[in-house]
Structures are given as C-alpha cells and as structure tokens.
Amino acid sequence: MWCFGLVLFLLPFVSSFDDFVDCGGFVSISPQLQTYIEQNNIKLDFSKDVHVHLMTTDGNTKFSADCAPNGYYIIPVYETGTFVLKIEGPAGWVFSPSQASVAVTKGDLCSQDFTLTGFSVLGRVSSEDRCTSSKKSVPKGIKLKLSSLSAPDSKPQEIESSSDGSFAFSNTFPGEYLIEASHPEHTLKNHKGLFAHEWGNYVLPDPFVVYGYGIAGRVLETSEHGEPVQSVSFFLYSEEENPPALSCPEPTNVPPHLKSKALCAVKTDESGFFKFSSVPCGKYTLVPLYISAHTTYDVIPKELKIEIDQDTFVIDSPFLVKGFSVKGHVVGTNSEGIEGVTVTATSDGTTRSAITDATGQYILDQITSGEYAITAEKPHYLFSSLARFKISPSLAVITDIVASRFHVCGKVSIPLPPPGVSIENRKIVMKPTDKATPPLNTKTDQTGAYCLAALPGKYSIAPEIDGAETAAGLLLTENSFEVTVENAPVLDVNFEQARLTVSGRVRCIESPCDTSISVTLSAIGRASKVTTGLAIGHDSSSGEDHFIFKGVLPGKYEVTINNENWCWEKESETIEIQTRDHSDIQFIQTGFVLLVRSSHDLDLKDKEDKTYKLVKGKNTFCLPKPGVYTFTPVSCYKFDTDTFVYDSTKPSTLKFNAIFYQIQSEIHIPDNVQLPAGSQISVNVTTNDVLRVVPAEKISNNLYSVTVWAELGQTLTITPSSNELFFYPQSQSTSVDRSECLPSLPPFAGRPGIYLTGTITPAFEGVLITVLFKETGLPALPTIKSDTKGHYSAGPLYDDRKYSIHAEKPGFYLKPVYATPGNFLAQKLGRVDVTVMHDGLPLPGVLLSLSGTEGYKNNNATDATGTFEFRNLFPGDYYLRPIFKEYTFSPSSQPITIKEGEELKIQVGATRVAYSVFGKVRSLSGEPEKLVGVEAVGEGLYEETQTDNSGNFRLRGLYPNKEYSLRVKLNKNSLIGRSEPQQIPVLLSNADIENMEFIVFSKNTKYDITGTVNAEKELLSSLSVQLFLNAEEKPLFEQSLAPINYFSFSGLDGEADYIVKLKTDLSEKQYNITTSQVKVSSLAELPSPHQIVLSFNANEKKIETSVENGSFGPILIAVFLAIALFNYQYILDLYKKYTSPQPKVDSNWLSDINHLKKKKKVN
C-alpha cells in the first residue's frame, strides 16, 4: 500500500470554519504494545471502547466523540476559550496524557494525541485469621515490587498497599512478571510470585498474607533520661495453650528462676534497644534479665504483658535498670604500667580519686552512671585525658590512660654575656631525628633553664643564636646535643659559653671599568647593606678592578655588581662567613643589555643576519660589543616601520606594536580541470559590510594563493569568485579576535558544477520538478518541467550539498524510485464526493471527518451545496464520519474502500434533533458585552457559550420539549455582579428561539459601610467612629460625629474583615460608659452600602458622702470657705432671714443654695 507521508504533509491536521473549530487527534499505542500486538496478531478497534470528551474547565461535558477504528477522533468546538480534552477507556487502561488543556481560538490549530501506554496489575494484602481485627482492617504500608522478566533492563515498579489492603500497578504491558511483597518489620507467608500478563488488566488470584510482626523496646539506666544499657536479655512467652511457632531458635540456658519454655530471646544493643521479629498475632509475656560478671541488676518492670494485632508493638516506656566500682590502667607508650600516678574522675561537682600501684592499676569506687572528666598527674609526665567519658553498668572499665609525653630539661649557661646578649628568653629548638614530625621549642627562664615535653624518640636539641649575637661574639662550646627519650624524663641537657674581610675582582670588556660600577654587600635575613665602589685599585696586567668590605659580622650575605645596562656572567653571589675571611669573588662583563618590548612573539634580524627570538612583553638580550645595530622584524605582523636602530652607548627600550595581522589561504584546482586562457580568480573580502576585491596569486595551473591583511577586532568573510568554478566551501569567515599570528584558513577547492537528471514513468510532460537543499528545504534552482519523454536535467549545482528532488502534478502521486534516485513513478489518485441532505435540501457546515488506516486524516465542512470533495486519495480503506451539533446522520459513520483512480459519490442523510437559543447581552447603557458566559441548565442537561464582540450568543444543542433555565454565568472572578433578568425559562419546540436578552451590571470592586449612632445629642461632640482592619490595633479610618450622628467609610475591600468601634474622650473615672462595636465580614456578599447602628450612653458618677481616709474633707472645707468669703454679704442676709423665729421650714432654702451655685459658675 502506498505511504501516506506526502499527503499528510499536504493536508493540514485541523481546519477551522466560520461556525466552529475542529479539535482532533489520534489515539495510538506505545512501542511496547505495538510489538506485542504484531507478535500476537491482535487487531485493534478503538471505536468500541475509547471515547474523547470535550469538557469545560468547570468539569462540564460539552461534547463526546467516539474514536474511529484507527484511533482518530474529531470534535467540533463552537466557542473560543480554554477547554479540557479527556480520554476515557476501559477501567485500568493507562493513557498518556490522561487529559490535556487546549486553547481554542479562531484560525489556530487545535490538536491533541493520546497514547495507550499500558494496563494495570491488581491485587490485595490480608492478615491471618488469628489476628482479631483481620475482618476490620489489614496491615498498611506493605511494599510491593513488580519486575518484568520479559524486559529485565526495565526499572521495577514499587508501590505500597492502601488502607484496605488493595494495590494496583499502573502502566504495565503484556509479558512475564515477578511480584514481591515486603515490609521492614512484618513477615509475609507468600512474599513473591510469577505470572504471565496478557492483553488487558491482570488480577492476582491470591492475596499476600502477613503472619508476623515485631516487638521493640529499650532499656535505660535509672530513669527515662538515663544512659542506654547493653546486653540485657529479654525472653518471650506465649499466653496461649498452643503457642504459634516462631522463626527464631528456642532459647537455651534459661536461668532457673524463669519459666523454661520461652519462645524466643534477644539482647539489647549498645543503644539499649531490643527487637523481636516475625511474631504472629496473639498474647505474650515479656521478661527482662540483666546479669553482669559481678552482679545481677533489677530491671523494672519485671515482666510485661502485650498483645500483637496487625502491627509492630512498640513499648513506649523504657525498661529501667535500678541500682558499682570501675577499674583502669595508666601506662607508658611501651604499654608498661606507671606507678604513683594520681587519677581523678569528676562529674557534676563530684570527684573520685585513686593512685596507681606498681603495675599502673587503679580502682575508682562509688561511681554512678554519667559522663566523667578523667585526668592523671605525675611530675615530669604528661598524660592523655578522657573528656565526657561515659560510665554505666555496661561500661564499667575505663579506657587506658597513656603517658604520651616526657620532659627534657637543661640549662644554657652564659656567665659573661657580650653586649646586647640576653640570658633569659632564649629559644631552644628540639628536632626529631628518627621521624618526620615538627620540631619542639621553648624559651629559657631568667637563669637560662628550660624544659620541653617530648614523645619517646631521638632528638637534636640546640639553643637558637641570632646573627646579632654571633656578630657580638657569642659562641657556645656545643651547638647541639643528641638526646634519646625512652618512657622517662631526661633532665640534664646543658649548654656552656667561647671581625672578617670580604673582597673580590671585576673584569669589564673595556678596561678599566667605568667609575659608575659599584658592588653591594647585603646581609641575608637582616636589614644591613653596604655598597662600595672600585676605588681599591686596577690591575693593568689582568685588566681587573678590585673591591673590598671590612668589619663583616659572621652570617650569610649576597654580593651584587651594580650596572643594569651591562651583561655579567653572574650579577650576584651568596656567601656565608663564620670564622675566616672570604676573597674569591669575581664579576666578569659579557656584553651590553638590549631591552625590547613587543606586542607579539616575533624574530629580529640584524645586519649580520643574526636572529633574536622575541616573546610577547619584555625581552632582554646581550649585545657582545658596543656600537650601533639595525634590526628588521620578521613575522606575520605589520609594524609602523620596517627597521629599528639601537645604539649601545645610549641605552633605551625598543618597542614593537603590531598594527595589521596576516590571513592566508590557498585555492586548489583538480589536475584534470583546465581553465580557459585569461581566466582569473578574484577574492571578495567583506569587512563591516565594506567590500574589497583582492586578486588570488597564481602559483601554478592548479594552485592559487590568497593573502589578506586585517586589523585587530575585524571580522572578514572571504569568498572566491570565478566564472568557471564553484568553490568549496563557498566562503570562509574569520575574526582577528586575538593578538597573535592567525593560522592559515583551510584551502578552498575549485570544481565545475554538477547536474541532476531523472525520468517520470509513465512519461508525462510538464511535471514540475523542484530541487531543494536537503538541510534547509530552500530551493536550489528555479522550478523546471519534464519534457515530452518525461526526462529532466537540473543544474549546475554544488557537488558537496545534499539535494531532495520533488515531482508534482495535480491529481497524481509521484513516488520516488529509491533504487534509481531522481526517477518517479506516477500514480493517479482517487476521489470521494460527499453530499449531506436534510429534508431534501443540502445541509452546509457539516464537519466531514475522513480518516485512513495508515494515518491519513482530513476534516472539512460541506459548502453551500452540502458537498465536500475529498481529492488525492490513495487506494485503501477509509472511515467517514459526519459531525454537526444538533443533528444525527444516517449512516452515522461508514467505511469506504478506494481503488486506484476511483471516484465515488456518497450521500448522507441528516435529521435535526436539537435546536438553538439566540440572544444578546448588553450593559445598562446599551453597549454590547463580549466574552460573557451564558448557560442553559435543565434536569440532567447543560449547555454553555460565550458572547461574541457584538454581545450576541447562541446556545446550541437544546432538546425540544425540555425545560431549560437561561442565565448569565457568574463566578468569583467575573467582573459582572448580576444580570436582569436573573434567569429566563425556555421550553423549545421543533424550532430555534431568538431575541433572548440580558442586561448585566458590573460587580463592585470597592464597598461602603454607613451607619448611625444612638446617643444623646450633647454627647456626640465627645464621640468618634473608628474602623479597624481585622484585629489590628491601629484604626484604618476615624470620623468625628458632631453635629450629626451619621458616619460613612468608603473604598473598602469586599473580602476583608472589619470592626467598627466608638471612641469617646469622656473619662471613665467620672462617667459610667456603655458602648457597642460591630464586626463586618465579606462586604462583597452584602448589599452596598452596608448599614449598621452603634449605641452609646454615659451617666455621671455620684460623689459618695463618706470619703475614705478623709482625703477630700480638707478640700471641701476650703471650697466652702472660698464661696463664703466671696458671697459673705449674701450669706449674712440669709443668716438673718432664717435664724429669726419661723413657724415652719421654708422649702426655698434648697432653691437659694442652687441659685448660689449657679451664681458661682457665672462669676
């Protein structure tokens, strides 16, 4: 069968139409499954159980499509937006991806493929029947491992069982498998098995059964925070008459005081932990036992009853050891004991001490468990210490304490010290002579005595004497002593207390030497430096000058000749003088210094053709004789001058700075190619878009040379040009990107072009032949046509490029003949014309999906005549399916077989089963609202759409005689707050409904809180209203109330929580205050503005007649006296009036007093 690759290239996967965009793709199988079905001759038909659903992002299904037998599906999408494509197959089948998000826009591709990657292996885990809760639950966390024996290199799958004991391995494919079950603490009976997995899911016939669990605990000393105890034994006894069998051997040597038939026994480890494994469900008794070499300890509790039921039994509370002397040994490095050492152990302020015996042994009594600092002491011995050493019943022996170092002591005696020489603080250095370890050092005290702590071994010990002391005349009888330390101190290493000329000669090329020559004597390690000239004298017989330094102190020196413009055999010499003069120093001139600085490595040649090799940077050469030299640079660089002059009597630095860099290449022409007379090869050099042409230099008939000069930083493209040749490569680019000689470019090869020829069979004239560059797909030549015999010839072309040749003729498939490249076989293609009719009339806009068995797919809509023509079809089997929402078709799908060149006509009948509702959404101002969601909701029915740019909408697929509720789709993220009407009930007959209209109102983004305060009018001036955000202490806003009791807060967040409070400046000491506050949440869900009411009341407190401790008495008396003095005349009149005889008490007394108070306030 013909390959469909070319057709797939010519026919796009997705087409978009005026009313909808079609989303489609293929459901394929993974390579592993493909191999299996080929080996087992399984024929797949995805049309039976695989479906693809188009869903909204809210999870509502808009359309469901069955797959074609070859897995192809197509879904028409009538609205733009983001949707989800979800594939559904038989339970346990695994697809990749299982679903995908697609963005549908007009004119863009909407494509999604799915792959069946595998199936599932299912099973379960259970417990033994003896476990009491086995019917209620099963052990969790059993690890399952599935390994493919058919594909041993594949990675095994590992999962855990769920809480109900079930498990499932996904994405498996047919083959032989090994399944294993395990748990770090539980034991399983049948923990592995083999099975053969065929096509589809596999269910394991038998469960894995867990029959053994663990028991774990710990033993500590004294308390729950104590130290762990090692080697405590635990015995396990069953409480049942017929105890289950355990996998551990039956314990032996059980102590007599314990029951003899223990099932199993274990001991604690160094961390105090113990563990029993593989213990079946049941009731048990656990008995501890701890016996050391000297005693038996009590372990609490003495026994513990436990019950195992489907999990490891972890004993939360540790067993405790309630309750010793410890021994130790002090030794030297030879492991022999040391007598008379005081050993001290300290812990938490408690100290225990002991002294070693003749063997170095000691015993510390009355020790309790804990961490101890253990030290040892003895004169002239240094011992290792034990910091935070843990002692417990299981650790009752102290690690050996070792005498690691011993003192070496002595004295440096200087009875008559020279000036500047000190007896004390002299450094003593002791160097090991038998091992490579760092030296030891110390300083003498004021008497010259010293001590050093040393490891056993051989040493050389010496006092340090500096150059100043040696110059002052300090000498010792012995410079050093050899000492051996052997596990004991050495205490008698004692030391007891006992000017020069440097001269030489200088020989110069021109004798006598210049008077500017001098010699310097520098002390090494000290700041001393002395310089002398050559004034001592000249020896005419030898041509040498002399120099001398007198009064030189012992030590190391460097002698240096001073003239940087001359060359010397050696410029300096290091000498060391101790007790005698030094006179054999000689300096000989060898030439004159030439200093050169160069930007690059290059060669210099003088007039005598001598070559000087220069390196980049500073260069120094020695010219053998005085005079004037002329140098010429030889290199791949060009400089500002061709020659350089140097005079040795006028020393200076020659400087070479490269300006241009050489780029070279060659052009090679085959020997069998003869160029016409007068032919030339030129080279186009492009730099920064500037073209210059340089000729290639002819070396021979078959060889040309190319030379180009460029500046640093320039990038050049070099392209040879000729009327007779193609060049390989066509051009080369290079950059002067480094300041050094550039390597030659690879040579160009010049060759004549090639021609591609071929034939069309059977012969057809006018077949379009296109030659493309294979790597880029761009045309290599203009399109040509075959002649009457079906022949063509294309060229000339480069011979190093790969080309693809394409042949094309409408209505034909031209297949390349791979055995003879360039030839094509012509095959006439078929055609299918499909017409869709509804009630005798053509139905336009129907999506016709035609898919083939070998990957062909073509989706297109019927035109105004209800027809679409599928052209250029290869012979084979096809599958046709019409799709149009609101219609069903007869047939709903059909297979088609096309023969070579066959033309078929097919008619499909359409029946309308659903209808549409048309309408518009606008704002209150009449403006259309675009991209607004509109939905139709019925009982078990749902459809949705979006408005277009004109606010129009169409809800498709509504069934007749079904009640729907039309409404604007609102959600939290929508900018629309509500619509009018909120919903429209509709009942469709066998016709569309038009002119449905909604008016929408924008959602508030900011909200208001308003309110009033119930309070006396005279109190409003003392009040303000505060608005707090959540529980913050500082108010967000604050408003004063006077003169009205109304407040308002605007621009608030609809999702925040607020608290509204009243604030007053009245004092609580003078008033009894009653107030209120209101919490407001989710303003977006409340009417705006949201109104609230606050209340406030304040009553003045009454003054008590009895004042505690008389604190207000004097104040009241003083106030009364002040009032009396100020109103003495009025009070006097009152006194006269009311002290005269009266028949009864006048009630005007109280009003007069009140009048007095008011008068006082006025005044």
Tokens, residue 651: 């020393």
Residues 222 and 318 grouped into a single domain: yes
Contact (CB, 8 A) for 95 and 71: no
Residues 221 and 310 grouped into a single domain: yes
pLDDT-based confidence at residue 1161 (cuts at 50, 70, 90): very low
**3-state SS assignment for residue 77:** strand
Residues 215 and 276 grouped into a single domain: yes
* DSSP-assigned states of every residue in 301-317: SS-EEEEE-SS-EE-SS
Residues 952 and 986 grouped into a single domain: yes
**Burial bucket for residue 298 (CB in 10 Å: 0-12, 13-18, 19+):** exposed
Average pLDDT for the chain: 84
For the chain, how many residues are written? 1163
pLDDT-based confidence at residue 1145 (cuts at 50, 70, 90): very low
Does any domain span residue 1044?
A: no
pLDDT-based confidence at residue 649 (cuts at 50, 70, 90): confident
Residues near 404 by Cβ (< 8 Å), separated by ≥ 6?
333, 382, 383, 384, 455
Q: Any idea which residue has 């309790």 for tokens?
A: 368
Residues 103 and 61 grouped into a single domain: yes
Residues 696 and 711 grouped into a single domain: yes
Percent of the chain at pLDDT exceeding 90: 38
Contact (CB, 8 A) for 744 and 664: yes
Question: In this structure, is the dihedral angle defined by the CA atoms of residues 528, 533, 535 and 538, taken in order, positive or negative?
Answer: positive
Contact (CB, 8 A) for 63 and 53: yes
Q: Which residues pair with 265 in a beta bridge?
A: 235
Contact (CB, 8 A) for 528 and 491: no
Q: How far apart are CA 859 and CA 845, in angstroms?
A: 12
CATH code of residue 719: 2.60.40
Residues 877 and 907 grouped into a single domain: yes
Q: Any idea which residue has 């394409």 for tokens?
A: 806
**3-state SS assignment for residue 1154:** helix
Residue 1150: the pLDDT is 34
Q: How far apart are CA 503 and CA 508, in angstroms?
A: 17
HSE of 307, CA atoms in CB hemisphere, 13 A: 5
Q: Give the model confidence (pLDDT) of 347-365 as tens digits.
A: 888 888 999 999 999 877 6
Tokens, residue 1071: 């008033």
Q: Is the pLDDT of residue 129 over 90?
A: no
Q: Give the model confidence (pLDDT) of 155-203 as tens digits.
A: 999 999 888 888 999 989 898 999 999 888 888 888 888 998 888 889 9
Does any domain span residue 45?
A: yes
Q: Which residues pair with 753 in a beta bridge?
A: none
Contact (CB, 8 A) for 231 and 224: no
pLDDT-based confidence at residue 1109 (cuts at 50, 70, 90): very low
Q: Is the pLDDT of residue 1127 over 90?
A: no
CB contact burial 548-568 (16+ within 10 A = b; e otherwise): ebeebbbbebebbbebeebbb
Residue 416: the pLDDT is 64
Q: Is the pLDDT of residue 253 over 90?
A: no
**Burial bucket for residue 847 (CB in 10 Å: 0-12, 13-18, 19+):** buried
**3-state SS assignment for residue 447:** coil
Within 232-341, strands assigned E span 233-238, 264-267, 273-279, 282-291, 296-300, 304-308, 313-314, 319-322, 326-331
Contact (CB, 8 A) for 619 and 650: no
Query: What is the H or E stretch that residue 1162 is in?
Result: helix 1148-1162
Give Cα 663 distance to the centre of its chain.
Answer: 47
Order of strands, edge to edge, in the sheet holding 824-828? 791-797, 754-761, 824-828, 812-816
Q: Give the model confidence (pLDDT) of 489-534 as tens digits.
A: 898 899 876 456 888 999 888 888 888 888 988 878 765 676 776 6
**3-state SS assignment for residue 868:** strand
Number of compact structural domains in the chain: 11
Does any domain span residue 1032?
A: no
pLDDT-based confidence at residue 327 (cuts at 50, 70, 90): confident
CATH code of residue 948: 2.60.40.1120
Residue 394: the pLDDT is 66
Q: How far apart are CA 321 and CA 337, in angstroms?
A: 34
How close are the terminal C-alpha atoms of the chain, in Å?
Answer: 124
Residue ending a domain, choose from 913, 945, 960: 913
Query: What is the H or E stretch that residue 1121 is in?
Result: helix 1113-1126
Residue 648: the pLDDT is 85
Q: Which residues pair with 944 in a beta bridge?
A: 935
Residue 1136: the pLDDT is 45
| Residue 1062: other Cβ atoms inside 10 A | 20
Residue ending a domain, choose from 735, 751, 767: 751
**3-state SS assignment for residue 1161:** helix
> Would strands 114-127 and 166-172 be described as parallel, antiparallel, or unpaired?
antiparallel
Residues near 621 by Cβ (< 8 Å), separated by ≥ 6?
593, 594, 596, 612
Give 585 or 474, the one with higher predicted confidence: 585
Q: How far apart are CA 1055 and CA 1006, in angstroms?
A: 10
Contact (CB, 8 A) for 1 and 7: no
In 3D, which of 894, 772, 909, 731 has the Cα closest to residue 836?
909
Residues 365 and 303 grouped into a single domain: no
Q: How far apart are CA 917 and CA 944, in angstroms?
A: 11
Q: Give the model confidence (pLDDT) of 364-389 as tens digits.
A: 766 677 889 999 998 989 998 888 88
Residue 861 corresponds to which amino acid?
A
Tokens, residue 479: 């410079």
Q: Give the model confidence (pLDDT) of 1064-1091 as tens digits.
A: 998 888 889 899 999 998 887 787 788 9
Q: Give the model confidence (pLDDT) of 209-251 as tens digits.
A: 888 888 999 999 877 788 898 888 899 988 887 788 777 777 7
CATH code of residue 197: 2.60.40.10
Q: Give the model confidence (pLDDT) of 565-576 as tens digits.
A: 899 999 999 998
Residues 891 and 872 grouped into a single domain: yes
∠41-45-47 over CA atoms, to 5°? 175
**3-state SS assignment for residue 32:** helix
Contact (CB, 8 A) for 22 and 73: no
In 3D, which of 906, 879, 812, 823 has the Cα closest to residue 2?
812
Residue 1002: the pLDDT is 82
**3-state SS assignment for residue 1110:** helix
Contact (CB, 8 A) for 896 and 881: no
In 3D, which of 789, 749, 798 has the Cα closest to residue 771?
798
Give Cα 405 distance to the centre of its chain.
Answer: 52
Residues 804 and 790 grouped into a single domain: yes
Q: Give the model confidence (pLDDT) of 569-626 as tens digits.
A: 999 999 987 767 788 899 999 999 999 999 888 899 988 889 999 999 999 999 988 8
Order of strands, edge to edge, in the sheet holding 847-852? 857-861, 847-852, 876-883, 894-898
Residue ending a domain, choose from 1003, 1026, 1043: 1003
Give 983 or 1122, the one with higher predicted confidence: 983
| Residue 965: other Cβ atoms inside 10 A | 13
pLDDT-based confidence at residue 9 (cuts at 50, 70, 90): very low
Residues 132 and 182 grouped into a single domain: yes
Computed over its alpha carbons, how large is the radius of gyration of the chain? 55
Does any domain span residue 1115?
A: no
Does any domain span residue 905?
A: yes
Residue 1103: the pLDDT is 58
Does any domain span residue 925?
A: yes
In 3D, which of 390, 400, 396 has the Cα closest to residue 294?
396
Q: How far apart are CA 330 and CA 428, in angstroms?
A: 30
Residue 511: the pLDDT is 82
Q: Any idea which residue has 């003054």 for tokens?
A: 1103
Q: Which residues pair with 837 in a beta bridge?
A: 842, 909
| Residue 138: other Cβ atoms inside 10 A | 24
Contact (CB, 8 A) for 399 and 476: no
> Would strands 114-127 and 208-221 be described as parallel, antiparallel, or unpaired?
parallel
Range of the domain at 860: 829-913
Residue 181: the pLDDT is 92
Does any domain span residue 733?
A: yes
Contact (CB, 8 A) for 709 and 660: yes
Q: How far apart are CA 1004 and CA 410, in angstroms?
A: 98
Contact (CB, 8 A) for 884 and 76: yes
Q: How far apart are CA 107 and CA 80, in angstroms?
A: 10
Q: Which residues pair with 192 in a beta bridge?
A: 180
Tokens, residue 559: 């002698």
Contact (CB, 8 A) for 1009 and 1092: yes
Does any domain span residue 1135?
A: no
Residues 191 and 223 grouped into a single domain: no
Contact (CB, 8 A) for 424 and 448: yes
pTM equals 0.46
User: Alpha carbon of 18 to those of 111, 187, 237: distances in Å?
Assistant: 18, 67, 84
Contact (CB, 8 A) for 467 and 483: no
Q: How far apart are CA 292 and CA 233, in angstroms?
A: 11
